[in-house]
Structures are given as C-alpha cells and as structure tokens.
C-alpha cells in the first residue's frame, strides 16, 4: 500500500494547490472531484503514472483517457481546433462539453494512436484552479474500477482508493451529469453523446448540423 494524502478541497491553500500541481506534473496519481463524477488523473505526459492508473482501475490499456486542461489556451498547446470546435469551446468551457479534436504535434503522444484527443475544461472550480497551475494537461478517467458503477461520494472513494493513489481530494457528494461528446476530427461534426448540453444548442452555436448519434 502507498501513503495516500487526503485533503478536503475547501481546505486547500494556494501553497498546497501549487505543491499538488507540481506533484501531478511529475507523475503523482490523484483522485479528485470533477463537475461530473470523481476522476483519477495524473500528468498527461507521465507514461509510468498513466500505466499505474490503468492497473489501479483494472482498465484495458486500449481505452484512451480524457485530457483535462484549465483553459482553452492550455488546450491549444496539445490540440488543433477547427472554427466549429473553437466556437463550441468558447461557448461551453468550462463545462460539460468533451471535444474530440486532432492533436497538435506536441499532443500526438497523448492520442495513443487515435485520430483525436477527447479534451475538456471541467466546470469544477477546485479542479480548474489545480489544472491552471499545471504546466501540462491532466490525463483523467472516472474514479471507479473497470466495469463498476462510477463513484460520486466520499465514502466510496476512500474505500476504493485509499492506499492505492498519492492524493485524494474530497469534494463532497457529486451529482453526475454526463458531458456532451462531439467528434470534430472530420469535415462534419458528429454527436457521440448528448449529455449536459443539448444537441440543438450545440448546432446553434456552431451554425452547423451535427451528424446523427454514433456509439462512442
């Protein structure tokens, strides 16, 4: 078992936030609240730590992790945004929109062979502050064992992950709302999942029609 440092998000001082951001950049693994469910993440370029997340979750390594950033400016460092993608990001970030966009040269290692990166600026104040202090994005996925229900409460998080990760940041009980997922890697945007942002709103923002839903 590893030593797990546990903090309440509201008790994090600026000094502790900076130390946590630096630790994540170097490969620390943390469980933390997002605006949907609790997530487990690390620095997006830390291959050893990412492999550890797959091991902890018992998740197939062929399943990509989502990329989280603290701002659209940070997202531009690892991904390329079409005019439609730019409109959506400016309208709905931070928030429940996952945009699948082509990686930049710097971001290609994060795509892990896929055509696009699933990237998002989450609408959780604590997490955005933490991400904004990081010099690299965070690779993140839901904090649950593979095939098990997602975790939204502190008790379940502690029972499942204490002793397995470096940090646990407790942010109370969450009310999960799935993000809307739009694939923007092709000529025509494709709605993969309609979540917290309605299809009609997405289409109105882009000024484009979305192709019909596909299975993600």
Query: Which tens digit of pLDDT belongs to each residue from 164-183?
Result: 999 999 999 998 788 999 99
- Summarize the confidence of residues 84-100 as an average pLDDT: 96
Radius of gyration, alpha carbons of the chain: 17
- Summarize the confidence of residues 11-18 as an average pLDDT: 96
Burial class (CB in 10 A: 0-12, 13-18, 19+), 26: exposed
Distance between CA atoms of residues 198 and 49, nearest Å: 35
Residue 53 has pLDDT above 70, yes or no: yes
Percent of the chain with pLDDT over 70: 98
Supply the pTM of this predicted model: 0.93
Mean pLDDT, the chain, rounded, equals 93
Q: What is the pLDDT of residues 23-47, one digit of tens each?
A: 999 999 999 999 988 999 999 999 9
Split at pLDDT 50, 70, 90, the class of 146 is: confident
Residue 215 has pLDDT above 50, yes or no: no
Neighbours of 97 (CB within 10 A): 24
pLDDT value at residue 213:
57
Residue ranges of domains in the chain, CATH in brackets: 5-82+94-179 (3.90.870.10)
Residue 216 has pLDDT above 60, yes or no: no
Determine the number of helices (DSSP H) and then strands (DSSP E) in the chain.
8, 10
């Amino acid at each position: 078992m590893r030593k797990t440092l546990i903090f309440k998000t509201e008790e994090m001082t600026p000094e502790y936030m900076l130390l946590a951001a630096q630790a994540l950049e170097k490969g620390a693994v943390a469980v933390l609240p997002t605006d949907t469910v609790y997530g487990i993440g690390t620095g997006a370029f830390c291959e050893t730590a990412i492999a550890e997340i797959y091991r902890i979750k018992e998740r197939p390594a062929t399943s990509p992790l989502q990329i989280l950033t603290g701002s659209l400016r940070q997202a531009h460092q690892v991904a390329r945004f079409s005019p439609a993608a730019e409109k959506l990001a400016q309208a709905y970030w931070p928030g429940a929109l996952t945009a699948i966009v082509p990686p930049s040269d710097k971001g290609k290692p994060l795509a892990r062979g896929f055509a696009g990166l699933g990237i998002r600026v989450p609408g959780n104040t604590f997490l955005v502050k933490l991400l904004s202090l990081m010099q690299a994005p965070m690779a993140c996925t839901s904090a649950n064992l593979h095939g098990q229900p997602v975790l939204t409460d502190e008790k379940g998080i502690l029972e499942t992950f204490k002793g397995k990760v470096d940090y646990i940041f407790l942010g109370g009980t969450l009310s999960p709302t799935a993000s809307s997922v739009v694939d923007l890697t092709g000529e025509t945007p494709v709605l993969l999942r309609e979540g917290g942002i309605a299809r009609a709103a997405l289409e109105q923002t882009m000024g484009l029609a979305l192709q019909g839903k596909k299975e993600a």
